[in-house]
Structure 1
Amino acid sequence: MLRNGLEPWHLLIVAIVFIVMFGSKKLPDTARALGRSMRILKSEAQAMKADGTVGEPANGSAGEGSSQVGEGAAHRTESVVDRREPVADR
């Protein structure tokens, strides 16, 4: 059924669908934003690797870090204020 899984004409159809869906004006902006996001992700990953914090707990042992995060999260949720304005009837 899927002997020839991905052929050049499949890519052409996908490209045409993207052009039709997003339009020729939005495609360069979308590609630029995607490239910028990828560069940011790459630089952040390199910074984490340089710091040596990949996969390590922030405060040494896992038990201490998890209890401190829980306390901080509880404090933050108490200070959340609902600032939605009432919807006026039309």
Structure 2
Amino acid sequence: MAALVWVMVGLALWHFTVFLPDNFYGGIVGAFCGALLGSFLFGLIVNLGTIPGESGTDLWTGVEAIPGTLIGLGIMWWLGVRKMAAEAPRVAAA
């Protein structure tokens, strides 16, 4: 049950990426993947590799996913900016 909460929090926060410039690696789909993977993996790390069941899921389960989502989005943003910089045309010095 906690995995569902983590992924849904990641999905909810991903919706706010429409207000950012499209610098994510893979565009909006890359941001989607980064948000979901980040929230899920961070939730696993916080819970030491276990996924709490229904009785172990509470409000803090959703809060656990927020840093992971932001980290995942940040990594995808960094990869996208790096790719854009590599593809930028080089201007020769005169």
Do the two structures share a fold, i.e. TM-score over 0.5?
Answer: no
TM-score, with structure 1 as normaliser: 0.34
Q: Which has the higher contact order (CA 8 A, sep 6+)?
A: 2
TM-score, with structure 2 as normaliser: 0.32
Structure label with greater radius of gyration: 1
